[in-house]
Amino acid sequence: MSEEENKATIAKFAEVATLAGVKGKVEDDGERFVAGYGFDDGRSQMVYARAIKTPSGAGVCVYSPAAKYKKGMFGGIGKDAAIDLLKRNENLFFARYGIREFDDTLLVVASVDLLIDTLDPEELRSAMGSVSAAADTWEEKAGKGDDF
């Protein structure tokens, strides 16, 4: 997708978010939507949406960071944690765990993909709730505090 198409997709997501009562904003470059999600126990998660191209058309990937791991011999995500994430994926509803790779960091995220043309406020709220809950669960399990 072109930069203009990505921005249009995020702008449409922001419109649906407003209808859903989500307090968030499109970042200055127009490439990503960001919102905070609070839980009753006082914990919180950041939730983002970025434009994606799916086989069925324009979409968004709604995601929430869960934990950061350094790459390298004395860092990284261990085998047991990786297997645990895979097992959790099998029982996770409306979200999945994955790893996004940056220069010297691995970022565990919970995410879900949605088509923008059929997205309604209820589905958006559900997606944000699902990915933020999954991310917060892993963040607590990993003992990483409440960083995201």
SS3 14: helix
What local confidence, expressed as pLDDT, does residue 146 receive? 66
Question: How does strand 57-70 pair with strand 105-115?
Answer: antiparallel
What local confidence, expressed as pLDDT, does residue 147 receive? 67
**Ranges of the chain with pLDDT below 70:** 73-75, 144-148
pLDDT tens by residue, 3-22: 999 999 999 999 999 999 99
Q: Which residue has the tokens 């990786």?
A: 82
What local confidence, expressed as pLDDT, does residue 129 receive? 95
Structure tokens at 77: 């995500």
Contact 25/34 with Cβ under 8 angstroms?
A: yes
Neighbours of 8 (CB within 10 A): 16
Q: What is the DSSP secondary-structure string of 90-132?
A: HH-SS-EEEEEEETTEEEEEEEEEEESTT--HHHHHHHHHHHH
What local confidence, expressed as pLDDT, does residue 148 receive? 66
SS3 69: strand
pTM: 0.90
pLDDT tens by residue, 52-61: 999 999 999 9
What local confidence, expressed as pLDDT, does residue 77 receive? 84
